[in-house]
């Protein structure tokens, strides 16, 4: 069976558009609410990235950090995250879910147990921020055996030689980090330059899907829409924080934002 | 798991940066792979380059001030009764602590790589103060990340950093201490690795930073070995080297040259921060059996909960207040080359009182942890045993805490 992630890309291509990927932190601002947000945004998002909150994140900017600390403070545990995904999948069986986090959380849960749980709860892909290639070779193989995509990260600092090796070993989807930044930084490179880099990577193996992430907002997403897929994370986390601050319903506001994001890439 | 003889410990990691096949490594975001590889290539070239070593030694000698004193603490020895207690007064070094060695080397490396800007983390403020000094010396712009809690409790060092022209960035996330400062510094590097060089303030972080720091602080044991031979004619038959351990940079540097000696001859004793006697929180992952996990890019013993969230630490000493520990020390513990124990806040304060009562020496709260254990153990040891404590920091930075906890008479002005 085709991984729902590949299916989502195929569908977006048929509609002649980029796939929209969202990132939200599991348990932000509560277990119940984060599930509601996933359900609500799934109407417009093609692939849902779900963040495993971690308290020493070395690659996340302030927006995602705030969401992660909020979720941890509200008591989210690894098993709760799997439960949220399982509950989501009950009503959205074919909507692909990518779990994204730091390797220590997987290590402490136990690699094998973690992958089994990913399988049973319906996780389709994994992004492990601090498990780069070639350190991730073993783990990526284990993912493949479970039919889970291990998504490689590629950065503007990744050398051409290294890009080729990573892509050769990669699964059908990869993630290009738009610029030198933690998540949610202000876009300091022009969308044109980002796309230039993206096209160079895409040429190495055109069959592999490449999404672009980091620093993408409502304002910039439209200019990048020729990519296979675009990820918006910090802007959504920011919307949750803003809603909470103004005592508004994050579910409604985030859904509106995702709808708007979608409209910009149509 | 075994330590190899005649190969520096910093060079005993495998290709992926693991000591004993298990500790260390490079668990970093993809963006940092290239800058780390560049630094590895540069360091591996320069650490064997005679010109570079001569340059390092020139600055160590004329600017840092080598050697730092090796003195007998006669009054303390008489008071304790038992082994001879000596101290390597590393706080003699320019700036008042061992952090100057690593800071100097990182600035030299940054210059060689053409970077004009260097960033660093700090806990007690010494790593930051020294980096700001070295950056000024070598004409580099400098930014220091420091937990907001540490900024409040280590003001003298904060003032020094600012005076040296460094920008001090307060970190408000998490426990607002060293662990968060290191995270924030790494995040800043992720976003600015094209222009900035990063200095990690201890033997922690991705493998290359562990190696550079260990290589730099090893100056301490190089000097000590010469001083021991000068004093005793040879390395003593019964030598015990006591050092506090936070990240582990001073202790590693204090022990490195003696690595190949039998531990019956040269024993290494690392003293971690046990935290307040009444608190369950501590900064002693080796002593209290913390689980192996990943922190700041490296596999190590680290205080964490069952999910893998890093736990908050508590210690009177900002310099030891770190939930993890250098992969080098994890390796030394598991191979049983070094022995690790902990001293509480109260133990450290009491040792500070004892040392300052009998000697003209003012160890900061970090080495006071080591003095506490050394004094306790020296009592039971024979007179021909040579106990050496690394007094790796000066108490000036702790004056606020000492005044509050012990009263005014324990704070001398300088």
The contacts found for A146-149 with CB under 8 angstroms, 24 or more apart, are: A146/A115, A146/A116, A146/A118, A146/A119, A147/A1, A147/A3, A147/A119, A148/A115, A148/A118, A148/A119, A148/A123, A148/A124, A149/A3, A149/A5, A149/A98, A149/A124, A149/A125, A149/A173
Q: Is the pLDDT of residue B408 over 50?
A: yes
| CA neighbor of B249 nearest in space, from B86, B10, B5, B3 | B10
From A15-19, A39-43, B27-31, B314-318, the region with the lowest mean pLDDT: B314-318
Domain segments of chain B as ranges: 28-60+98-214, 65-96+219-410
Task: Tell me the chain B residues in contact with residue A60 when contact means C-beta distances shorter than 8 Å.
Answer: 187
Separation in Å, CA of A55 to nearest CA in chain B: 6
The average confidence (pLDDT) of chain B is 96
β-pairing, B298-301 vs B292-295, is: antiparallel
Which pLDDT does position B173 carry in this prediction?
86
From the candidate CATH numbers 3.40.630.30, 3.90.1170.50, 3.40.50.1100, 3.40.50.720, the one assigned to the domain spanning B65-96+219-410: 3.40.50.1100
Q: What is the pLDDT of residues B218-231, one digit of tens each?
A: 999 999 999 999 99
Which pLDDT does position A57 carry in this prediction?
94
Q: A49, A209, A228, A239: which is the annotated catalytic residue? A: A49
The residue of A58, A130, A158, A160 whose CB has the most chain B CBs within 10 angstroms, and thus the best one to mutate to test that interface, is: A58
Q: What is the pLDDT of residues A72-101, one digit of tens each?
A: 999 999 999 999 999 999 999 999 999 999
10 Å Cβ neighbour count for B361? 20
Domain that holds residue A212: 4-265
Separation in Å, CA of B364 to nearest CA in chain A: 28
- Average of pLDDT values for A193-197? 97
Q: What is the pLDDT of residues A236-248, one digit of tens each?
A: 999 999 999 999 9
Q: What is the pLDDT of residues B57-108, one digit of tens each?
A: 999 999 999 999 999 999 999 999 999 999 999 999 999 999 999 999 999 9
Task: Select the more confidently predicted residue: B154 or A107.
Answer: A107
Q: Which of B30, B187, B295 sits opposite A155 (nearest CB)?
A: B30
Q: Is the pLDDT of residue A1 over 90?
A: no
The Cα–Cα gap between B329 and B299 comes to 12
> Is residue A156 within 8 angstroms of chain B, CB to CB?
yes
The average confidence (pLDDT) of chain A is 97
Q: How confident is the model at residue B11 (pLDDT cuts 50, 70, 90)?
A: very high
β-pairing, B196-199 vs B239-244, is: unpaired
Task: Tell me the chain A residues in contact with residue B192 when contact means C-beta distances shorter than 8 Å.
Answer: 180
Question: Considering only alpha carbons, which residue of chain A is nearest residue B178?
Answer: A56
Residue B182, CB half-sphere, CA atoms under 13 Å: how many? 26
Cβ of B187 within 8 Å of Cβ of A60? The answer is: yes
CATH number of B28-60+98-214: 3.40.50.1100
Q: What is the pLDDT of residues B262-289, one digit of tens each?
A: 999 999 999 999 999 999 999 999 999 9
Which pLDDT does position B412 carry in this prediction?
65
- Average of pLDDT values for A195-209? 97
Report residue B246 as tokens: 């936070």
| CA neighbor of B43 nearest in space, from B115, B112, B103 | B112
Whole-number percent of chain A with pLDDT over 70? 100
Q: What is the pLDDT of residues B15-70, one digit of tens each?
A: 999 999 999 999 999 999 999 999 999 999 999 999 999 999 999 999 999 999 99
Cβ of B33 within 8 Å of Cβ of A130? The answer is: no
Cβ of B296 within 8 Å of Cβ of A58? The answer is: yes
> Is residue B14 within 8 angstroms of chain A, CB to CB?
no
The Cα–Cα gap between B253 and B257 comes to 8
10 Å Cβ neighbour count for B339? 16
The SS3 call for residue A84 is helix
- Average of pLDDT values for B205-234? 98
Which pLDDT does position A61 carry in this prediction?
92
Q: Is the pLDDT of residue B254 over 70?
A: yes
> Is residue A14 within 8 angstroms of chain B, CB to CB?
no
User: How many structural domains comprise chain A?
Assistant: 1
Cβ of A103 within 8 Å of Cβ of B309? The answer is: no
Q: Which of B31, B307, B310 sits opposite A177 (nearest CB)?
A: B31
The SS3 call for residue B287 is coil
| ipTM of this complex prediction, to 2 decimal places | 0.96
Q: What is the pLDDT of residues A128-165, one digit of tens each?
A: 999 999 999 999 999 999 999 999 999 999 999 999 99
> Is residue B186 within 8 angstroms of chain A, CB to CB?
yes
Task: Tell me the chain B residues in contact with residue A78 when contact means C-beta distances shorter than 8 Å.
Answer: 307-308
User: Is residue B246 within 8 Å of residue B177, measured between CB atoms?
Assistant: no
Which pLDDT does position A27 carry in this prediction?
98
Q: Is the pLDDT of residue B413 over 60?
A: no
- Average of pLDDT values for B156-166? 96
Cβ of B31 within 8 Å of Cβ of A69? The answer is: no
Cβ of A108 within 8 Å of Cβ of B308? The answer is: yes
Phi-psi group of A18: left, alpha or beta (phi > 0 → left; psi -120 to 50 → alpha; rest → beta)? beta
Q: Is the pLDDT of residue A206 over 50?
A: yes
CATH of the domain at A220: 3.20.20.70
Which pLDDT does position B414 carry in this prediction?
44
β-pairing, B338-344 vs B266-275, is: parallel
Question: Considering only alpha carbons, which residue of chain A is nearest residue B189?
Answer: A181
Which pLDDT does position A185 carry in this prediction?
86
């Amino acid at each position: 069976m085709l991984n729902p992630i590949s299916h989502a890309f195929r569908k977006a291509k048929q509609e002649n558009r980029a796939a929209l990927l969202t990132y939200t932190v599991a348990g932000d601002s509560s277990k119940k609410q984060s599930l509601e947000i996933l359900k609500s945004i799934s109407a417009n998002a093609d692939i849902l990235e779900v963040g495993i909150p971690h308290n020493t994140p070395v690659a996340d900017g302030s927006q995602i950090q705030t969401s992660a600390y909020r979720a941890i403070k509200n008591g989210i545990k690894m098993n709760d995250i799997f439960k949220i995904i399982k509950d989501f999948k009950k009503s959205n069986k074919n909507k692909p879910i990518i779990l994204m986090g730091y390797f220590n959380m997987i290590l402490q849960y136990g690699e094998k147990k973690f992958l089994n749980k990913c399988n049973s709860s319906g996780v389709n892909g994994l992004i492990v921020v601090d498990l780069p290639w070639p350190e991730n070779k073993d783990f990526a193989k284990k993912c493949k055996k479970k039919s889970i995509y291990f998504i490689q990260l590629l950065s503007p600092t990744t050398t051409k030689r290294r890009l080729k090796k990573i892509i050769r070993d990669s699964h059908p989807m990869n993630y290009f980090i738009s610029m030198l930044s933690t998540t949610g930084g202000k876009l300091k490179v022009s969308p044109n330059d980002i796309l230039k880099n993206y096209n160079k990577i895409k040429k190495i193996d055109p069959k592999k899907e490449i999404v672009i992430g980091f620093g993408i907002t409502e304002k910039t997403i439209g200019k990048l829409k020729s990519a296979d897929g675009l990820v918006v994370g910090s802007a959504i986390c920011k919307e949750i924080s803003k809603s909470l601050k103004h005592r508004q319903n994050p579910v409604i506001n985030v859904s509106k934002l995702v709808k708007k994001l979608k409209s910009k890439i149509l | 798991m075994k330590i190899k003889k005649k190969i520096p410990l910093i060079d005993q990691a495998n290709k992926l940066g693991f000591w004993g096949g298990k500790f260390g490594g490079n668990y970093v975001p993809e963006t940092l792979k290239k800058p780390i590889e560049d630094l590895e290539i540069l360091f591996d070239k320069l650490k064997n380059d005679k010109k570079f070593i001569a340059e390092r030694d020139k600055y160590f000698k004329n600017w840092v001030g080598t050697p730092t004193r090796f003195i007998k603490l006669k009054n303390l020895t008489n008071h304790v009764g038992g082994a001879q207690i000596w101290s390597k007064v590393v706080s003699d070094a320019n700036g008042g602590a061992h952090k100057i060695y690593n800071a100097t080397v990182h600035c030299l490396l940054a210059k060689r790589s053409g970077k004009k800007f260097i960033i660093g983390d700090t806990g007690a403020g010494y790593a930051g103060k020294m980096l700001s000094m070295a950056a000024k010396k070598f004409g580099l712009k400098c930014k220091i990340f420091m937990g907001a809690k540490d900024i409040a409790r280590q003001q003298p060092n904060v003032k020094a950093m600012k005076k040296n022209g460094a920008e001090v960035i307060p970190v408000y996330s998490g426990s607002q201490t060293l662990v968060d400062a290191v995270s924030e510094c790494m995040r800043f590097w992720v976003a600015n690795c094209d222009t900035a060089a990063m200095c990690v303030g201890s033997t922690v972080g991705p493998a290359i930073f562990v190696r550079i720091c260990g290589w730099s602080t090893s100056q301490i044991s190089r000097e000590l070995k010469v001083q021991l031979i000068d004093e005793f004619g040879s390395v003593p038959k019964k030598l015990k080297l006591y050092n506090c351990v936070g990240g582990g940079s001073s202790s590693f540097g204090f022990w490195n040259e003696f690595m190949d000696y039998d531990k019956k001859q040269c024993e290494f004793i690392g003293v971690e921060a046990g935290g307040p006697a009444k608190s369950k929180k501590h900064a002693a992952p080796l002593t209290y059996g913390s689980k192996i996990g990943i922190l700041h890019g490296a596999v190590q013993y680290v205080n964490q909960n069952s999910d893998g969230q890093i736990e908050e630490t508590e210690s009177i000493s900002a310099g030891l207040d770190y939930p993890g520990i250098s992969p080098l020390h994890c390796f030394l513990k598991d191979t049983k080359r070094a022995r690790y124990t902990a001293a509480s806040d109260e133990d450290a304060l009491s040792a500070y009182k004892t040392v300052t009562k009998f000697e003209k020496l003012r160890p900061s709260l970090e080495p006071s942890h080591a003095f506490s254990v050394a004094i306790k153990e020296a009592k039971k040891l024979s007179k021909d045993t040579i106990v050496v404590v690394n007094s790796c920091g000066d108490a000036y930075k702790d004056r606020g805490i000492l005044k509050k906890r012990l009263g005014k008479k324990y704070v001398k002005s300088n």
